[in-house]
Structure 1
Amino acid sequence: MTKLSDLPLRSNLVGLEPYGAPQDPVPVSLNVNENTHPIPDDVVADIVQSLEAAVRGVNRYPDREFLELRESLAGYLGAGLTSDNLWAANGSNEVLQQILQAFGGPGRSLLSFTPTYSMYPLLASGTDTAWIPVARPADYALTPEGVVAALEEHRPDIAILCGPNNPTGTPLEREVILAAYDAFDGILIVDEAYQEFDAERESAVSLLQGRPRLLISRTMSKAFAFAGVRLGYLAADPAVVDALRLVRLPYHLSALTQAAATAAIRHSVTMLATVDDIRAQRDRLEAALVEMGYKVHPSGANFLLVGGFENPDATFEALRARGILIRNLHIDGHLRMTAGTEAETTVLIDALADLGPGGAR
């Protein structure tokens, strides 16, 4: 039987592992930062009606420019944006891939601050872009001085700031973004996949005016509870949108994806009504963990990075055996936990309490 090692794979892909998290049909799945709250029935009905209308036309190719969706996204973000400032693809991963296809590639580099989203180096490898990881401070919080020093030292072609950062939850301050933009002449991406969960900080889309190298990546997977639809989007200067047209595949967004996402945005207030509850469950989980003696890192996202586990692997497996799936990212002494519904959060808190201080051994 032919093995992967028998194939003439590109050298920079040899030895890599594909992105992935465990997928088990467990009762409580809190490992991939999904919004575990169901979509309201009235919104489901409107989306289904929109999908039915779209299906009747699928013998034709979809709108290649998905103008209605882009107009809807611009309206949702506000900040004076128009459809010319918006782009979308099949998840924010594809948006980021298209950015690297357009602005990265052989002889160019991508920098970010680790630990951060594990897809960044994989996207870099997939586009033959050099990956430059720079370690975050001990508290994971970026500072203008630290970011500027890294950008001036490495002079990357592209840099990504993830805020709130995955997997640490660390919020991203505005002064860090502004300092980073001014520190180098490359493309600066702010990955705001979890921005709706940060009640204290305004989206970086308000900084776009006059900054053509600033790109804001967003997703409907998290706060919108739309992970299965796969819709990511970008706010940027219209010239950046033109650049992404050069690398996108023809008709890359299906008619069904466009219809579902546009319908969901019509109900954005209802769709985002669960965000406050998720924040409340995140804070409740944090309080319980601190009371148990764990170290919980500050989070502006819908998850917590928790330290203080004597044996994270054993705790992960012990919870899994109880039908609870969280994320083991192999950060020393740490595990990551998504804030779920009140019932799910209760199950997780009770299970951790049963395991005792420091978790399973």
Structure 2
Amino acid sequence: MSFSLNDLPLRADLVGEEPYGAPQLDVPVVLNVNENPYPPSPLIRQEMAAAVVRAAGGLNRYPDREALGLRTDLAAYLGHGLTADNIWAANGSNEVMSHLLTAFGGPGRSVLTFTPTYSMYPEYARNTFTGYVTEPRNPDFTLTADLVLDAVQRHDPTVVVITTPNNPTGTSVGLEVFEAVLAGSDAIVVADEAYQEFSGRPSALELLAESPRLVVSRTMSKAFALAGGRVGYLAAHPAIVDACRIVRLPYHLSAQTQAVARVALAHADELLAQVRSLAAEARSFEAWAREHGYDVVDSEANFTLIGRFPDRHRVWQDLLDRGILIRETGPDGFLRVSAGTPQEMNLLKHALEDLDPTREGSRP
């Protein structure tokens, strides 16, 4: 019997939708999802393995549903006088955002953000029945307080999400923008700082003590080389943490996840040393790209937008044919490149140099 998704009583707003996700292809050079290319060291892996073995001794019991040990360690890592009461941890920053919109969004409410930005935001809104409204960034992809406040006044959102550094552009937002929005609105204001460790700018954490409606969202996927561990977290007033606790699924972080994340935090200094080298690699690639005639968006993250390509998909395919996977995302005519190892970046540079300049889309 023939049976497909079309035969199911799918929600009307999901008909025709495709699952989110960048390509996962087995190629020699993977530079498409802003991962940290350096795995934890053998010593750290050994400690993680031992921590998982210890956790396995209690796998017949549910894990600590409050993840208090992990939240305490995250608070110590962030500093700023934070305690476990200020921290919420979840299955990646994706689940953090889902918790926030489940708690503060919903029918009749909206979330405002500024494009181009992270492509999962509309899906968080859709899944929580929250209205999704956007305004364009400045032509250089920056944000000013006036631009954001004007959008807030016109749309009256319940939640405002400001990504800094922004994905996919890598541009950062100054603290004065957050201060202005917090002063001029009653909305929950989310500073999505997934790539903050790669930036040299002050964090919105500096504003938390005096800002009970501010949320600072982070992830361990990038800086801590823990993309496979699936740990995201937020720092906020304890009342916001309590709101997330209401809507979370029971036991949403496994005992193994909590154990591995705590080992990573115990080795923060070693893991963050790779962050500095990745940021330097990204800036070096940007300098190379400019020298070779590409348009480059100034980035403060571990990735770079280069263009402009009349046919960016053809360039993407040309590179993939050479075993190099980058991301076809962001503004028209641009491609996003994650920072990799020096060897990976050299292979990318050679491939870009070798592309046929007479072929449409192969060169800017």
Q: TM-score, normalised by structure 1?
A: 0.97
CA distance in 1, matches of 2:264, 2:158: 35
- Counterpart position of 2:37: 36
- Counterpart position of 1:235: 235
Task: Give the SS at the match of 2:157.
Answer: coil
CA drift of 1:359 comes to 5.2
Name the amino acid aligned to 1:249.
L
Name the amino acid aligned to 2:247.
V
Deviation string, structure 1 residues 257-283 (Cα, Å, up to 9, x no partner): 000001110000011110111011101
- Counterpart position of 2:154: 153
Q: Which deviates the most, 305-314 or 219-228?
A: 305-314
CA drift of 1:88 comes to 0.3
- Counterpart position of 2:284: 284
CA distance in 2, matches of 1:331, 1:209: 36
CA distance in 2, matches of 1:273, 1:119: 29
Matches within 5 A, 1:336-347: 336-347=336-347
CA drift of 1:93 comes to 0.2
- Counterpart position of 1:79: 80
- Counterpart position of 1:131: 132
Deviation string, structure 1 residues 231-288 (Cα, Å, up to 9, x no partner): 0001000001111111101111100000000111000001111011101110111011
Listed as ranges, the gaps of 5+ residues in structure 1 are: none
Aligned residues: 360
Sequence identity, in percent?
Answer: 53
- State whether residues 111 and 160 of structure 2, in contact with CA within 8 Å, keep that contact through their aligned partners in structure 1: yes
Matches within 5 A, 1:1-361: 1-199=2-200, 201-329=201-329, 331-355=331-355, 360=362
Q: Which deviates the most, 62-71 or 302-311?
A: 302-311
CA drift of 1:225 comes to 0.6
Name the amino acid aligned to 1:259.
A
- State whether residues 109 and 157 of structure 1, in contact with CA within 8 Å, keep that contact through their aligned partners in structure 2: yes
Task: Give the SS at the match of 1:165.
Answer: coil
CA distance in 2, matches of 1:90, 1:60: 19
Q: Which deviates the most, 92-101 or 4-13?
A: 4-13
Deviation string, structure 1 residues 176-212 (Cα, Å, up to 9, x no partner): 111121221111111000000002x111111101211
CA drift of 1:330 comes to 6.0
Deviation string, structure 1 residues 327-359 (Cα, Å, up to 9, x no partner): 001631110000101111111111111115585
Task: Give the SS at the match of 1:113.
Answer: strand
CA distance in 2, matches of 1:70, 1:268: 15
- State whether residues 87 and 236 of structure 2, in contact with CA within 8 Å, keep that contact through their aligned partners in structure 1: yes
Q: CA RMSD in A?
A: 1.2
